Amino acid sequence: MVVKMPQENEHFISILLMHSLFTVLAVIFGIASTANGWQKTPSDTLNTVLADHDNERAVVLLKEILDRSPNDPSGWYNLACVACRLDQFDEAASALLRSVKCGFNDFRQMETDPDLESLHDHELFLVILERAEQQEQKRSRSAFDLWRATYGDEHYRYELDESGKLAYATALDEVSHRQMKRMLQQEADHLTATLFHESLDNFVLIAVPTPEDAKFFFGSDENVGGIYQHAERRLVARDIGGSLRHEFVHALHYDHMERLGLTEPHRLWVQEGLATLYEDYEFNDYGGIHFLPNTRFNIVKNRARLSRLVPLKQLMNLSNKQFMARSGALYPQVRSIFRFLAERNELADWYSSYVDTFQQDPSGELAFRKACGADLEEIEKEWKSWIDQQPRFDDRIDPEDAALGIVSQNQSVNNGVSITQVLAGSAASRARLRSGDVIVAVDDHPTRNLTELRMIIAAKHVGDTVQIRFRRKERYQTVSAILRKRGWLYEIGP
């Protein structure tokens, strides 16, 4: 049967999934109303008939439903399953083909549905799967080709990564493009190894537009750093920093949910918790990951001090609409929950337990009990204690703090920090940086946007010597700079 996923989540766009007929039908095809109340229709009886494995009667009821709704893909799909039960394989194959023609598109479910297993060697079934692969390739390429047709070739680098199932359309120079690919591959490898267990099934477009094209694509809302649109298999990010890493998690997560054949997506707090967690991290020499604190943590710290954190049980049961209405407070909170689990080495176990218990408890409370061995109330106490013990994240550059002495406009470039002004007498001035230079790293730490540069400089001290990697036109260079106090600078800058 067909279950249409909700669209409240801005990232989750209408995924159609199917269930085996061994489950009870979840979609009611029609209920007639009378003056005396509700009157049963064939679809009401179908639940009982399927549960009793009365397949002959099920065929009759499904045909009655299809007489009324001849283009209903779920009706034809279910008819194919029942026909297979009756060993009517030619009829089953014909019904399955009709379901595809009417819009059925969950071909993974088709391949794994136990009711259709006996149909796998049928010639028409193989034709359907071949058509499915062609459709998916066409859809993936259409996003790639549509971007190219819309934004052209002049400023973009186009590339297909067959092994990683990624299609790139980036307004980046070769060095930045290569670094971005390496970052995404490392993130994908880690997510596959620890959480999602398989790489992407279908191509996803990774688009990093020019700042001008980003304004056109995203509109006037400069607070949106990126978006993943699953129906189009398209990820668009303003730069190659945290927003790109955030949305890339969504791409892999939605692909995983499709493989699981869910009737509803994972709760939004889980989706956004994982995505925000991967905004800032670093890998050690052994391939281990450390999730870094970022500016979101101070919001959590402040809300904890004021006793304004949303209780976990309430948070885990919010609707998508309720969650997004408070996203400014809840994104930081859910990130801190998963960072807490990661530091206890329980994140992978929790997610595995969540997948195993999702049908029983989609909120995630049962997963906490299984993975952490404690009730939610006890976990919540330990999490709050962990928050209290963590230091505030230093994201401020105060007058007495070290500074480079530059002015930059956020989102003016998509692969670094563009200097719009160098202040006289500053560390940047003494290092001979110029307006128009683009800072791409400090002490080998990438500075893909202004936020990342601020985070690095905020952790330094007056008198520290830092290595500034920057791009001047097409050429990359490295210079040393001795950080000076920011207090005398007349402009705000890192």
Tell me how far apart the alpha carbons of residues 320 and 330 are, in angstroms, rounded to a whole number.
12
- pLDDT of residue 174 exceeding 80, the answer is yes
Segments making up each domain of the chain, as ranges: 2-121, 136-265, 277-393, 402-485
- Please tell me the predicted confidence (pLDDT) of residue 487: 66
Tell me how far apart the alpha carbons of residues 339 and 278 are, in angstroms, rounded to a whole number.
9
Q: How many CB atoms lie within 10 A of CB 452?
A: 23
pTM (2 decimals)? 0.75
Q: What are the distances in angstroms from CA 406 to CA 377, 450, 484?
A: 48, 11, 12
Q: Per-residue b/e over 120-139, b at no fewer than 16 CB within 10 Å?
A: eebeebeebeeebeeebeee
- Please tell me the predicted confidence (pLDDT) of residue 65: 87
Tell me how far apart the alpha carbons of residues 372 and 379 are, in angstroms, rounded to a whole number.
8
- C-alpha angle with apex 17: 12 to 19, nearest 5 degrees? 145
pLDDT digits (tens, 9 = 90+) for 211-243: 999 999 998 788 899 999 998 899 999 999 999
- Please tell me the predicted confidence (pLDDT) of residue 103: 74
Q: Which residue has the higher pLDDT, 485 or 176?
A: 176
pLDDT digits (tens, 9 = 90+) for 153-162: 999 999 999 8
CATH superfamily, domain at 136-265: Collagenase ColT, N-terminal domain (3.40.30.160)
Q: SS3 letters for the chain?
A: CEEECCCCCCCCCCCEEECCCCCCCCCCCCCEEECCEEECCHHHHHHHHHHCCCHHHHHHHHHHHHHHCCCCHHHHHHHHHHHHHCCCHHHHHHHHHHHHHCCCCCHHHHHHCHHHHHHCCCHHHHHHHHHHHHHHHHHHHHHHHHHHHHHCCCCCEEEEECCCCEEEEECCCHHHHHHHHHHHHHHHHHHHHHHHCCCCCCCEEEEECCHHHHHHHHCCCCCCCEEEECCCCEEEECCCCHHHHHHHHHHHHHHHHHHHCCCCCCCHHHHHHHHHHCCCEEECCCCCEEECCCHHHHHHHHHHHCCCCCCHHHHCCCCHHHHHHCHHHHHHHHHHHHHHHHHCCCHHHHHHHHHHHCCCCCCCHHHHHHHHCCCHHHHHHHHHHHHHHCCCCCCCCCCCCEECCEEECCCCCCCCEEEEEECCCCHHHHCCCCCCCEEEEECCEECCCHHHHHHHHHCCCCCCEEEEEEEECCEEEEEEEECEECCCCCCCCC
Q: What are the distances in angstroms from CA 23 to CA 6, 53, 455?
A: 20, 11, 51
Q: Which residue has the higher pLDDT, 208 or 23?
A: 208
Poorest-pLDDT segment among 100-109, 113-122, 203-212:
100-109
- Please tell me the predicted confidence (pLDDT) of residue 12: 39
CATH superfamily, domain at 2-121: Tetratricopeptide repeat domain (1.25.40.10)
- Please tell me the predicted confidence (pLDDT) of residue 142: 75
Q: Among residues 280, 233, 223, 287, which one has the least CA distance to residue 255?
A: 233
- pLDDT of residue 51 exceeding 60, the answer is yes
- Please tell me the predicted confidence (pLDDT) of residue 398: 81
When pLDDT is averaged across residues 121-129 and rounded to a whole number, the result is 85
- Please tell me the predicted confidence (pLDDT) of residue 434: 95
395 — pLDDT class (breaks 50, 70, 90): confident
What dotted CATH number matches 402-485?
A: 2.30.42.10
Question: What residues are paired with 236 via a beta bridge?
Answer: 207, 227
- Please tell me the predicted confidence (pLDDT) of residue 111: 81
| Sequence-ordered list of residues with C-beta below 8 angstroms from that of 122, at least 6 positions apart, any chain | 89, 90, 92, 93
Tell me how far apart the alpha carbons of residues 204 and 11 are, in angstroms, rounded to a whole number.
14
Q: Is 444 exposed, middle or buried (0-12, 13-18, 19+ CB in 10 A)?
A: exposed
489 — pLDDT class (breaks 50, 70, 90): low
- Please tell me the predicted confidence (pLDDT) of residue 357: 97
Q: Per-residue b/e over 346-374, b at no fewer than 16 CB within 10 Å?
A: bbebbbbbbbebbeebbbbbbbbbebbee
- Please tell me the predicted confidence (pLDDT) of residue 232: 87
Q: What percent of the chain has pLDDT over 90?
A: 61
